[in-house]
Amino acid sequence: MKPSPELLNDVLDEVRPLIGQGRVASYIPALEEVPADKLGVAVCYNDGDIITAGDADEPFSIQSISKVLSLTLALQNYGPLEIWDRVGKEPSGQAFNSMIQLEMEHGIPRNPFINAGALVVCDLLQSRLSAPRQRMLEFVRDLSANPHIYYDKTVAKSEMDHSDRNAAIAYLMRSFGNFSNEVMPVLQTYFHYCALRMSCVDLAKAFNYLANKGLSLGAEKTIVSHTQSKQVNALLATCGLYDGAGEFAYRVGMPGKSGVGGGIVAVVPGEMSIAVWSPELDPSGNSLAGTAALELLAERIGRSIF
Amino acid sequence: MKPSPELLNDVLDEVRPLIGQGRVASYIPALEEVPADKLGVAVCYNDGDIITAGDADEPFSIQSISKVLSLTLALQNYGPLEIWDRVGKEPSGQAFNSMIQLEMEHGIPRNPFINAGALVVCDLLQSRLSAPRQRMLEFVRDLSANPHIYYDKTVAKSEMDHSDRNAAIAYLMRSFGNFSNEVMPVLQTYFHYCALRMSCVDLAKAFNYLANKGLSLGAEKTIVSHTQSKQVNALLATCGLYDGAGEFAYRVGMPGKSGVGGGIVAVVPGEMSIAVWSPELDPSGNSLAGTAALELLAERIGRSIF
Amino acid sequence: MKPSPELLNDVLDEVRPLIGQGRVASYIPALEEVPADKLGVAVCYNDGDIITAGDADEPFSIQSISKVLSLTLALQNYGPLEIWDRVGKEPSGQAFNSMIQLEMEHGIPRNPFINAGALVVCDLLQSRLSAPRQRMLEFVRDLSANPHIYYDKTVAKSEMDHSDRNAAIAYLMRSFGNFSNEVMPVLQTYFHYCALRMSCVDLAKAFNYLANKGLSLGAEKTIVSHTQSKQVNALLATCGLYDGAGEFAYRVGMPGKSGVGGGIVAVVPGEMSIAVWSPELDPSGNSLAGTAALELLAERIGRSIF
Amino acid sequence: MKPSPELLNDVLDEVRPLIGQGRVASYIPALEEVPADKLGVAVCYNDGDIITAGDADEPFSIQSISKVLSLTLALQNYGPLEIWDRVGKEPSGQAFNSMIQLEMEHGIPRNPFINAGALVVCDLLQSRLSAPRQRMLEFVRDLSANPHIYYDKTVAKSEMDHSDRNAAIAYLMRSFGNFSNEVMPVLQTYFHYCALRMSCVDLAKAFNYLANKGLSLGAEKTIVSHTQSKQVNALLATCGLYDGAGEFAYRVGMPGKSGVGGGIVAVVPGEMSIAVWSPELDPSGNSLAGTAALELLAERIGRSIF
């Protein structure tokens, strides 16, 4: 049985009191200015049904959620060894932007969802796509069936103005021979991907391929193979929430990916994709009320991969 | 459709050529002497059906697989905060017995399946159970419906003779106030648990509660609550295979727990528990052919949580 | 020209206002109870002249200063390779009791003046001396010409009651094969050495051999060779002040060794040994006013090895 | 008594058999091509006497020895707090280019002689000197009384082509707010300094100010104050030889600074400055035969600060 909009509204109402207990990302002004009380959820069933509540149609900065999309583009353009020789598949057990582990492991990032790993993936795309930014835009517009998705140039520029640590990460990987292109253009691509503005509805639609054996919403296109969709879900389950993946699996029980814009996408394989949005973050950098909403929703609809 | 014994035999035949490519655990003689060509698998369905192939009835040293059983005993005897204030729920991103992370995180182990975390769990049991070793024996004999399960005293003694690193870990946690009992008795308990001898059949039966909403095989007893069974599976999926959890999720797609004796248990929630055994280990310390057998089996029977 | 007692008194008066800005060691009660306003200095010239000021005759817990004495006993009883294969000669760049570096460097401590290194030295003494505690007592009584030096049993017992971290360090080294004896007896020896009670006068006399080519005060005995005395001074200069060795060299310009009891010994090779005492410590664990007194004294008497 | 040229020749003859046991730096071709059998020494007394042996007049790439010269320029242009708030004075206990410590210590390098610290010093010079490269050239030409000292442009360019790790270090410090200028121009300055070509004679003359209370050779100019010369010597003694400072103090007993070009300068305060050159390096990155030559020379002439 599918949840009613009322059930989704109830879930949002129950978690709304958490707003005020987290902190909106503040490292760039464009994120800091987002109202802390935004709260939205969208559920996209594999049959195309979409149920929403709250601010589900309002676009926000998807940030690290884009790391799944860039990995997916890489899976479409590279063989598995070309990717997995350069980035691992293991949880990092460290803060998302730590360089310590990267140095100890000789420039091979732990997984594609920490910054270092996503930068390697962008380096791959930079090498093989003629216009990696335009390609991504076409890709997400197509997945979400929304031609109005765009890059927030203010966010991208602001990220670039605060890019020293990511530049350090990229140069460190270059020093180990695990970065092929000039650093700055890849950072530009990476920050544009992070600066995609999408709504919960856009995201739930876009990620439905992970719930539906790799097929796009409506099953018209194969985005990745069924095996690959399971593999991406496995990576999300173990590495998708920074250093809070274990807690998320324990509480929510779904593969997911968060961004510091406050969005989280989650997947119930074979059934549905879900997106939530609440800008305040917990200490691990994941949406505080968003995680609580997913936990509650999972319980109410009786879904868990475990 | 349940797999036939033939299918299981085929799986074992296909992975058998891998034997010779891994290394049998050699840190204690009792493990080193196990023949490298042992290979077995047992599948236990929630309805009680058991299908086996190879050396499925031969007992072996379950080693770290016991960490799930000791956590389960702790869940039966302590409230959640009493446990999760003292041990985390996150992957470690480090070798299973690293002290570096433990020092940096002030004596709180990352999760209950690395050595430090399992020692904290044993410390908890030592504090509250009058006879923790006897209690465990009763528990697993009951779960497996096999009164002949016992501790291999040679293995336990040998572990105790090579216990310096685990003693160091326990003393370090004690220095941070996260260890209540004398170190040596807890190590004795811990090494006895590791020295349990069980067959694939024993293990598949014993772990069926994680596939069946927390109910014992035959559903006569509640071992843990349904929620707790999902939580334990979540911990297994993110932390159950040392520093190879991501790779295992990627390849096998089931929650699982390995031991350096070469055993691995895996869970298909709602359906079945599986145990495999092959003594040679990969560089992460997980059974090499055992992982391959689970990967192949998962593909053949079309099961994955992702 | 030798300093007058007035000059020493002036130095103490000038640094006395610093008292109140540091913190007395508080990890065991016996140290915490020492009055914070104790302040003393003793200078021992190679010709036997001793000049003092303040609380120079009052015994205190020498703590880590004993690490130089135990190393000296080891130099008398072992060949250089037997020592330097088991402990390094490099600064640690880490807190004095960190286990991180010890694990990364496979159980070989960086130098003999961090806890791990001193424990290895005690392990060496335990193996070769029939009564290592009695031997040390005879040694320091002889060096200081003071038969009343003794172990503070309250301090030794209190240290033993808070020995978990040092036990962890010793067990970690044992796990790497760099510790031969049972851990607890070596810890007992180690804590007794730390619990030696000596005054500034005792210490200045005892350490004169490092200022006088390895000869005891009065030049009657060879404690170590001239070359060894230079080597020990070199180790003190680079590793003698925990993670403040660079700052101490920069400010004071003499080889030295501190203890958390607030004592510091310093050496002007060819001329004199100095001991100061002020219980309050700086964040690196070195006597705050004691360091300042040595800095001022060095400037006033125009002495520096640099 | 000053050593005769014969004594210096004897020293070189005794250490020459070591050639073949080390490895010439190979990370850039320009260094790799230097003949491994070059061997030279120059001693410069404070009275101006210069005694040499071997290839003492042949210029080579001074590499990290330049870090002392850039620090000296910084001391001439900045107040102490302006420098020491941004770079520490402690040994690193890590490889010279490790980023791990730099991240853990929030972008403040341990000391001015590891790469990170020298980059901060160059960042300081870049901010305050109108032409930092020209200024350095004038400075060393003046110190060495040799107008023919120049930058090896091939080496500088080659370093810049392999600058990824140093760029990573600089960007990491920038991300912590401890780097003011654009990264690439500072790297250009830094690599030019490293690419200075000087002979043993040039170096012994240039560094005489550290042996002579801060005065230039001939005592005509004050390069740094007497106190500052002692402070720089203190830093050299504790931090001047990468992760081999303790061993160097133990064996040689003089403040010193090495470079991967195979040069080492050493100081006997109040008496003389010494430079040696032998291109093959030990595992710590210090000249293998050069260190041995200094050890032997110190013994023969009976000099040590300890």
Chain C residue with Cα closest to D249? C234
| 8 A C-beta contact, residue B190 and residue B122 | yes
pLDDT at B3: 83
Tokens of D107: 């972008």
Average pLDDT over residues D62-84: 97
D247 to chain C, closest Cα gap in Å: 6
**What residues form DSSP beta bridges with A45?**
A272
Nearest residue, CB atoms, A91 vs list B91, B304, B306: B91
pLDDT digits (tens, 9 = 90+) for A234-274: 999 999 998 899 999 999 999 999 999 999 999 999 999 99
| Residues with Cβ within 8 Å of residue D241, at least 6 apart in sequence | D247, D248, D256, D257, D258, D264, D284, D286
CA geometry: angle at A178 spanning A172 and A180, to 5°? Answer: 100
Q: Using an 8 Å CB-CB cutoff, list residues of chain D that contact chain C.
A: 88-94, 101, 110-111, 229-231, 233-235, 237-239, 243-247, 249-250, 253, 255, 269, 304-306
Residue C190 designated active-site: yes
- Tell me if C306 and D89 make a contact (CB, 8 A cut-off): no
| Residues with Cβ within 8 Å of residue A187, at least 6 apart in sequence | A119, A160, A163, A166, A167, A170
Nearest residue, CB atoms, A168 vs list D100, D104, D171: D171
Residue B242 designated active-site: yes
| 8 A C-beta contact, residue C76 and residue C224 | yes
Q: Is residue A97 over pLDDT 70?
A: no
Burial of D297: CB neighbours in 10 Å, binned 0-12, 13-18, 19+: buried
pLDDT category at A99 given cuts 50, 70, 90 is confident
Q: Is residue A3 over pLDDT 90?
A: no
Q: Is residue D96 over pLDDT 60?
A: no
pLDDT digits (tens, 9 = 90+) for C257-297: 999 999 999 999 999 999 999 999 999 999 999 999 999 99
Region B5-300: CATH code: 3.40.710.10
**What residues form DSSP beta bridges with D267?**
D273
- Tell me if D98 and A99 make a contact (CB, 8 A cut-off): no
B248 to chain C, closest Cα gap in Å: 27
Chain C residue with Cα closest to D271? C306
- Tell me if C246 and D88 make a contact (CB, 8 A cut-off): yes
Q: Using an 8 Å CB-CB cutoff, list residues of chain A that contact chain B.
A: 88-94, 101, 110-111, 229-231, 233-235, 237-239, 243-247, 249-250, 253, 255, 269, 304-306
In chain D, which residues have their Cβ closer than 8 Å to the Cβ of A175?
164-165, 168
Kindly name the residue from D61, D64, D163, D199 that is annotated as catalytic: D64
**What residues form DSSP beta bridges with B198?**
B60
pLDDT category at D220 given cuts 50, 70, 90 is confident
Domain limits of chain C?
5-301
pLDDT digits (tens, 9 = 90+) for C147-191: 999 999 999 999 999 999 999 999 999 999 999 999 999 999 999
**What residues form DSSP beta bridges with B23?**
B281
Kindly name the residue from A190, A265, A267, A273 that is annotated as catalytic: A190
Whole-angstrom CA distances from C31 to A199, B219, C39, C260, D212 are: 62, 60, 15, 9, 44
In chain D, which residues have their Cβ closer than 8 Å to the Cβ of A174?
164, 168
| 8 A C-beta contact, residue C268 and residue C44 | no
D56 to chain C, closest Cα gap in Å: 26
How far is residue A34's CA from residue A261's CA, in Å, rounded to a whole number?
Answer: 9
Q: pLDDT (tens digit, 0 to 9) for every residue of chain B, 306 residues total?
A: 788 999 999 999 999 999 999 999 998 888 999 999 999 999 999 999 999 999 999 999 999 999 999 999 999 999 999 999 999 999 987 765 678 889 888 999 999 999 999 999 999 999 999 999 999 999 999 999 999 999 999 999 999 999 999 999 999 999 999 999 999 999 999 999 999 999 999 999 999 999 999 999 987 899 999 999 999 999 999 999 988 999 999 999 999 999 999 999 999 999 999 999 999 999 999 999 999 999 999 999 999 999
Average pLDDT over residues D221-243: 96
Q: Which chains touch B (3 or more CB pairs under 8 A)?
A: A, C
How far is residue D271's CA from residue B73's CA, in Å, rounded to a whole number?
Answer: 74
Chain A residue with Cα closest to B245? A90
pLDDT category at A100 given cuts 50, 70, 90 is confident
Average pLDDT over residues A41-56: 97
Kindly name the residue from C242, C268, C273, C278 that is annotated as catalytic: C242
| D115 in a known ligand binding site | yes
Residue A24 designated active-site: no
pLDDT digits (tens, 9 = 90+) for C92-112: 877 656 788 898 889 999 999
Size of interface A-D (CB pairs under 8 A): 51
Residue D221 designated active-site: no
**What residues form DSSP beta bridges with C45?**
C272
ipTM above 0.90, yes or no: yes
Kindly name the residue from C64, C229, C258, C273 that is annotated as catalytic: C64
> For C268, left (φ over 0), alpha (ψ -120 to 50), or beta?
beta
Residue C67 designated active-site: yes
Q: Which chains touch D (3 or more CB pairs under 8 A)?
A: A, C
Q: Is residue C2 over pLDDT 90?
A: no
CB atoms within 10 A of CB D276: 34
Kindly name the residue from D41, D43, D67, D213 that is annotated as catalytic: D67
Nearest residue, CB atoms, C253 vs list D92, D110, D234: D234
pLDDT digits (tens, 9 = 90+) for C17-70: 999 999 999 988 889 999 999 999 999 999 999 999 999 999 999 999 999 999
In chain D, which residues have their Cβ closer than 8 Å to the Cβ of C244?
90
How far is residue B133's CA from residue B146's CA, in Å, rounded to a whole number?
Answer: 17
Chain D residue with Cα closest to C104? D94
Nearest residue, CB atoms, B234 vs list A233, A243, A306: A306
pLDDT digits (tens, 9 = 90+) for D102-131: 988 899 999 999 999 999 999 999 999 999
- Tell me if A168 and D169 make a contact (CB, 8 A cut-off): yes
pLDDT at C97: 64
**What is C5-301's CATH topology?**
Beta-lactamase (3.40.710)
In chain D, which residues have their Cβ closer than 8 Å to the Cβ of C229?
306
Among B9, B40, B15, B35, which Cα is nearest to B276's?
A: B40
pLDDT at A96: 55
How far is residue B185's CA from residue D91's CA, in Å, rounded to a whole number?
Answer: 41
In chain C, which residues have their Cβ closer than 8 Å to the Cβ of B106?
none
- Tell me if C245 and D91 make a contact (CB, 8 A cut-off): yes
In chain D, which residues have their Cβ closer than 8 Å to the Cβ of C111?
246
- Tell me if B249 and A243 make a contact (CB, 8 A cut-off): no
In chain B, which residues have their Cβ closer than 8 Å to the Cβ of C174?
164, 168
- Tell me if D249 and C229 make a contact (CB, 8 A cut-off): no
How far is residue A49's CA from residue A302's CA, in Å, rounded to a whole number?
Answer: 18
Chain A residue with Cα closest to B241? A90
In chain D, which residues have their Cβ closer than 8 Å to the Cβ of A98?
103
C78 to chain B, closest Cα gap in Å: 26
